[in-house]
Chains A and B, each alone.
Chain A
Amino acid sequence: MSDLSEKAHLLHGKMLESPSSTLFSQEELQKLLHISKPVELLNLAQELMNKKLVKLVKQDGDLKFQAVSAMEATKITQMTDDEAMVYSYIEASGREGIWTKTIKAKTNLHQHVVVRCLKALENQRYIKSIKSVKHPTRKIYMLYNLQPSIEVTGGPWFTDSELDTEFIDSLLTVIWRFAASKTYPSAFQPPSANTNPMQASYPTNHTGFVNLDAIMEFITSNKITNIDLALNDIRSLCDVLVYDDKLELISQTTDTYKATWQSVLEAGYGRAYRDEGNEGLISKSVRKALDNQPYSIFEHYAVIAENEDESDVVYMDAWTHD
């Protein structure tokens, strides 16, 4: 830095004043320093280039200049030429990262050299190796201080590039429970006098069902997860719940959901009037009528599994197998 000419120093300083990734054309640089002759600029640029304080970048066929901070420059000057070349490609790949094979192809270096360079750079904590969800087997490198992009990590559902089903399932349960309590509040409480034990629904003009914002708010305010979720992520969770027939979209709305009654029943709620000790809630004749209901597959949860005689079991696919 010290042996830099005053003018070059000034140019570098002015270039750094703009945001870090600004690209300057030759004319812009001339304007910065009010230089009229290109030759003069050329000398300054060459000087900065030698000190690695400026990078040449090609954009739309034109050569552009980009300032490099002094710290970065010392970093690069300390590297060998090979290392610097590998580093420049990794830097160029940004948050996507770059595959070792691509580095090899682009630098035209021998495999051993590349590996050695990568090792050196990694030891100095200039770069890091990451795992990609899309290509789990590839070794991908990116700058140490960058966060991998969503395409690489797969978004919030992936932990160490594996789909975190436990995390998803627990979120699904939380969201369903939240939506269900907004749809059938009484189902989750002990039977009380001011609600009918058999069914207590909101009227059709009720509007207090949950939408994406409400779910988001619920998740953030209760600190259910420390992972940042976008509205779109919540929507995909709701979609899954719709596939599970646990939520349904209310018609003529966007993103407003209510829990399905079947899901409440399957989760074991909403049937308190059938429990022992609650016989007083419904009259005897109703109870009798309930006991004499025809079989319905929707009440599969209420059917007691019997101990089967193996030879008596029939299978649904018997027709295709016998």
Chain B
Amino acid sequence: MDGEIPEASKTQSPKSYLYTSITRTHLGEVASLIVSCLMSYGQLTAHDIGHRAKIPVKKVKSALVSLIQLNCVFYWRDDSSKQVFYSFNEAGILVFLHSGDIISHIKSSYGEDCAEIIQNILMNGHIRVEDYINNIEDEEQKLEKQTLFFRLFTDRWLVRLQPFNYHPIDDIWNKLYQETLKNTPRTSTTSEVKRVAEAREKTKAKFTDLMESGQSAKDLYNTQDGIKRLNPNLVITFNLSRFQKHLRTTALVSLAKSRVGILSSRIYESALRLVEAASPDLKHPFLQISGLINDPEEARFFINSLENKLVDEKKIVFNVRDLGRLLPADLDLRNSILTHNFLKPNSINNNKSKKRAVPALSDDEEDRPPAKKIKSEPGEEDDSLSRNGNGPEDMDDGDHHLANGNGYISSLTDNSDSHSVSLIQHHLKLLSSGSGTQFLIEITPGTFTVPFASLLKQLKKYNFETLVKTTLGVHSFRVLRCLKSLKIGDEKTISNSVLLKEKTVRNELYKLVKANFLEIQEVPRSADRAASKTFYLFRHKEESSYDFLNNSLIFSMGEILTNIQNFREDHKILLEKCEREDVKGHEEELLLEFELKTLKALQNRQVNNSARFNRIKTLFEIYSL
């Protein structure tokens, strides 16, 4: 009875193609049919799904149970018709998409045991803490697990799952809104517009209350024997948004690495991790409700206000000292900030002087100009330096250098300590103003914040441009960036500014237009709009290009999954043979030589394709941020 997955799932939208492919590999044909169906129709009752997808209702219902359990489907009971409607929930599928990365990230930052918990939760969709703990026999282990749960929960990798998480956000909003509107009286003194606006504001407050309900410490934790632990009755699930924040961190660090340098980027990574858990959500629920915030200007304002609020509350603010403690031990910052005279190996003062360490700056001193001009002298082995541990004891010698007048101002770099505060400070300064991109903002001397909203824009821009460079070539890259700075231009202006032949420019423009990254504006010069006389201007619009690119990426990901599925299908018999109980583990003895060869080739091919899939995924992540 299982119908073939219709061609429409591929053609209706790239998302549908990717999501149905993922569902098919993870949850089977029926589930993917349902997903495809829900994506194309929006909201359907179980009966309708059965009808549209040509699957018996009983099968639909049992599939829906697991889909809901895994957060892939929302449900909503309509008050008037008493019917239950189902709709598609992207979050569950995205968790599938990222599952491997999630587990390996947790493993690397929290260890095997935490990864195991996360893996189990991912597999089950959600879990009651008690149920999980009760499966463990050993008392000591039970306690251990509870602490791990607590840790993951406080770091917001796990969140409490509540009934409203299963409902489509639009429906919740609508219900609240209609109620409030009913309760807002009509009066002759206020206009209808005002009444609606008032109701909307009230609903916003109510909605926020609802979303934040059940998150108080009393609901979440209980204290037993003086140990604070998670309430065992809590139902918890994995927090996708937390992982997306981690992805954002990774993407920003890569950008910093390419713009500023690898050491700065590693410091940046630590800094971002420091504020990651408290950083603004990638998508605020208000922005997801259709029709609530329509104007892009208003949306931008809203996002900025969220960010400013976090800055005001000091949630995404850190200072140099906090950071110093968190830097990885193997990070060696010595000599990473150049002093002016490092290139002159035998300068006038060629005595065996040591690099002088500057006494660590105290808070009130940090903002002063490099008043103490201490000359650092090159030509000294780093290792010997650190071993000698020469400190500020030979300060007087430094003054002597100054007196010689040879010393160029060496900024306050302390090259004896690989994590010196002044070096970190220098790197943070580089991140905030050392390149065209502002990775950090120094709000007060020594304290920094991360401008997430504006950085995301830069992130998308640079990734997009680099993609153009790597796929369409350096000339396209030059033309595109030139056009961006010109805002709008014709072939001639462009070719004059990029110093390329007009013919080349025309070719590059064609490539860019074909890839849908440029728009053409027609400026007719005669009444009959003759093409020969018409003037053509080009321009680049970021939003539409990104949307298009994202769709292309999603589609390509779907293609790769289908491809993997197809070549596995081609060797179905062999693969099934390997899965047989008697063959498993004895492949070498029971399989023919050519079968082993094919198996190996298949495996390689799958690995290659998965790698390709993952690379596209890194870009897809950036454009979904």
Q: List chain A positions with a Cβ less than 8 A from chain B.
A: 157, 163, 165, 168, 185-186, 193-196, 198-206, 208, 236-237, 239-240, 242-245, 248-249, 251, 260-262, 265, 282-283, 285-286, 289, 294-300, 306, 309, 311-312, 314-320, 322
Render B334-348 as a binary contact track against A, CB cut-off 8 A, 1 for contact: 111110101100000
A244 and B330 in contact (CB under 8 A), knowing A237-B499, A261-B260?
no
Closest B residue by C-beta to A205? B411
Contacts of A200 in B (CB 8 A): 335-338
In the complex, 28 of the A-B residue pairs with CB atoms within 8 angstroms, ordered by the A residue number, are: A185-B343, A194-B342, A195-B338, A198-B336, A199-B264, A201-B338, A208-B340, A240-B497, A240-B499, A242-B485, A243-B478, A243-B481, A244-B477, A245-B481, A249-B436, A283-B332, A286-B331, A289-B330, A297-B467, A298-B254, A298-B466, A299-B258, A314-B556, A317-B514, A317-B552, A318-B555, A318-B556, A319-B555
Cα-based distance from A208 to B501 in the complex (angstroms): 34
Closest A residue by C-beta to B264? A199
A168 and B614 in contact (CB under 8 A), knowing A196-B334, A289-B330?
no
B107 nearest CB across to chain A (Å): 12
Contacts of A300 in B (CB 8 A): 466, 470
Check: B402 CB closer than 8 A to any chain A CB.
Answer: no
Cα-based distance from A220 to B283 in the complex (angstroms): 55
Contacts of A286 in B (CB 8 A): 330-332
Q: How large is the interface on B (under 10, 10 to 19, 20 to 34, 35 or more residues)?
A: 35 or more
B258 touching A196, Cβ below 8 Å: no
Render B433-464 as a binary contact track against A, CB cut-off 8 A, 1 for contact: 11110000000000000000000000000110
Cα-based distance from A201 to B413 in the complex (angstroms): 12
Cα-based distance from A165 to B223 in the complex (angstroms): 75
Check: B588 CB closer than 8 A to any chain A CB.
Answer: no
Cα-based distance from A265 to B482 in the complex (angstroms): 22
A204 touching B429, Cβ below 8 Å: yes
Query: Sorted from nearest, which 3 A-B pairs have the closest CB atoms?
Result: A199-B261, A296-B254, A298-B258
Contacts of B330 in A (CB 8 A): 283, 285-286, 289
Contacts of A206 in B (CB 8 A): 338, 340
B232 nearest CB across to chain A (Å): 36
* A294 in complex: contacting residue of B254, B262, B328, B379, CB < 8 Å: B254
Check: B259 CB closer than 8 A to any chain A CB.
Answer: yes
Closest A residue by C-beta to B613? A314
A196 and B335 in contact (CB under 8 A), knowing A296-B258, A314-B612, A317-B515?
yes
A261 and B498 in contact (CB under 8 A), knowing A196-B333, A286-B330, A298-B466?
no
A165 touching B501, Cβ below 8 Å: yes
* A315 in complex: contacting residue of B251, B501, B556, CB < 8 Å: B556
B257 touching A203, Cβ below 8 Å: no
B604 nearest CB across to chain A (Å): 10
Closest A residue by C-beta to B615? A295
Cα-based distance from A315 to B553 in the complex (angstroms): 9
Contacts of B264 in A (CB 8 A): 199, 201
Cα-based distance from A273 to B413 in the complex (angstroms): 22
Contacts of B499 in A (CB 8 A): 157, 163, 165, 168, 236-237, 240
Cα-based distance from A311 to B612 in the complex (angstroms): 13
* A243 in complex: contacting residue of B343, B378, B498, B514, CB < 8 Å: B498
B338 touching A261, Cβ below 8 Å: no
Contacts of A322 in B (CB 8 A): 555, 559
A203 and B337 in contact (CB under 8 A), knowing A297-B619, A316-B556?
yes
Contacts of B263 in A (CB 8 A): 196, 198-199
Interface centre among A286, A295, A311, A319 (most CB of B within 10 A): A319
Closest A residue by C-beta to B254? A296
Cα-based distance from A260 to B413 in the complex (angstroms): 23
A186 touching B338, Cβ below 8 Å: yes
Check: B563 CB closer than 8 A to any chain A CB.
Answer: yes
B373 nearest CB across to chain A (Å): 13
Cα-based distance from A282 to B333 in the complex (angstroms): 11
B380 touching A193, Cβ below 8 Å: yes
Cα-based distance from A311 to B462 in the complex (angstroms): 30
B608 touching A319, Cβ below 8 Å: no
Contacts of A185 in B (CB 8 A): 338, 343
Check: B516 CB closer than 8 A to any chain A CB.
Answer: yes
Closest A residue by C-beta to B426? A203
Check: B14 CB closer than 8 A to any chain A CB.
Answer: yes
Cα-based distance from A299 to B612 in the complex (angstroms): 15
Check: B38 CB closer than 8 A to any chain A CB.
Answer: no
A71 nearest CB across to chain B (Å): 41
Contacts of B501 in A (CB 8 A): 163, 165
Cα-based distance from A299 to B253 in the complex (angstroms): 12
Render B523-565 as a binary contact track against A, CB cut-off 8 A, 1 for contact: 0000000000000000000000000010111011001100100
Contacts of B399 in A (CB 8 A): none
A261 touching B258, Cβ below 8 Å: yes
Closest A residue by C-beta to B495? A163
Cα-based distance from A237 to B499 in the complex (angstroms): 8
Check: B605 CB closer than 8 A to any chain A CB.
Answer: yes
Closest B residue by C-beta to A185? B343
Contacts of B516 in A (CB 8 A): 320
A245 touching B336, Cβ below 8 Å: no
A261 touching B481, Cβ below 8 Å: no
Check: B304 CB closer than 8 A to any chain A CB.
Answer: no
Check: B465 CB closer than 8 A to any chain A CB.
Answer: yes
A193 touching B435, Cβ below 8 Å: no
A203 touching B498, Cβ below 8 Å: no
A193 touching B382, Cβ below 8 Å: yes
A244 and B474 in contact (CB under 8 A), knowing A168-B499, A204-B433, A314-B612?
yes
Contacts of B135 in A (CB 8 A): none
A296 and B257 in contact (CB under 8 A), knowing A193-B381, A315-B556, A320-B552?
yes
A306 touching B608, Cβ below 8 Å: yes
Cα-based distance from A186 to B14 in the complex (angstroms): 47
Contacts of A243 in B (CB 8 A): 477-479, 481-482, 485, 497-498
